[in-house]
């Protein structure tokens, strides 16, 4: 059974940094696109970024230049490094896996349980 387990969330001041981790188990990690999404209270889940198995990545415009996704295949772990955090980045962050490139939540095959990130002003 595939599991995605996020960690690293917390409370940070605006301008600060956090790094989220997502450890995958029972997933053919090197053949999946690893994604990050987020959902703020009262809003729809939105795409944050993705990291393809070939090393390429893509980001939402709102986080471009501030967030970076990387993966460690030996550990089956993907990371979301967040810098210059803003209060509007406050949300539950979800790790997700898809067998192809997509930014649509409806096309994701596996989801993690989410981790809370709160940014104070």
DSSP state of 102: -
Q: What is the mean pLDDT of residues 95-116?
A: 97
Q: What is the mean pLDDT of residues 4-33?
A: 97
Q: What are phi and psi of 21, to 5 degrees?
A: -120, 150
Beta pairing partners, 38? 46, 93
Mean pLDDT of the chain: 97
Q: What is the mean pLDDT of residues 76-89?
A: 98
The half-sphere exposure of 114 on its side-chain side, counting CA atoms within 13 A, is 12
Q: Is the pLDDT of residue 53 over 90?
A: no
DSSP string covering 54-94: TS-EEE-TTTTTTEEEEEEGGGTEEEEEE-S--GGG-EEEE
pLDDT, tens digit, 9 for 90 and up, residues 62-72: 999 999 999 99
Q: Is residue 42 classed as helix, strand or coil in its secondary structure?
A: coil
% residues pLDDT > 70 (the chain): 100
Confidence (pLDDT) at 109: 97
Beta pairing partners, 3? 25
Q: What is the mean pLDDT of residues 79-95?
A: 98
């Amino acid at each position: 059974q595939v599991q995605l387990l996020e960690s690293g969330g917390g409370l940070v001041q605006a301008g600060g940094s956090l790094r989220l981790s997502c450890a995958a188990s029972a997933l053919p990690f090197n053949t999946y696109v690893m994604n990050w999404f987020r959902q703020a209270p009262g809003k729809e889940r939105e795409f944050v970024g993705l990291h393809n198995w070939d090393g390429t990545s893509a980001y939402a415009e709102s986080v471009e230049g501030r967030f970076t996704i990387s993966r460690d295949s030996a550990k089956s772990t993907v990371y979301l490094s967040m810098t210059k955090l803003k209060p509007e980045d406050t949300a539950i962050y979800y790790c997700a896996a898809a067998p192809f490139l997509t930014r649509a939540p409806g096309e994701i095959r596996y989801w993690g349980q989410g981790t809370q990130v709160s940014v104070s002003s």
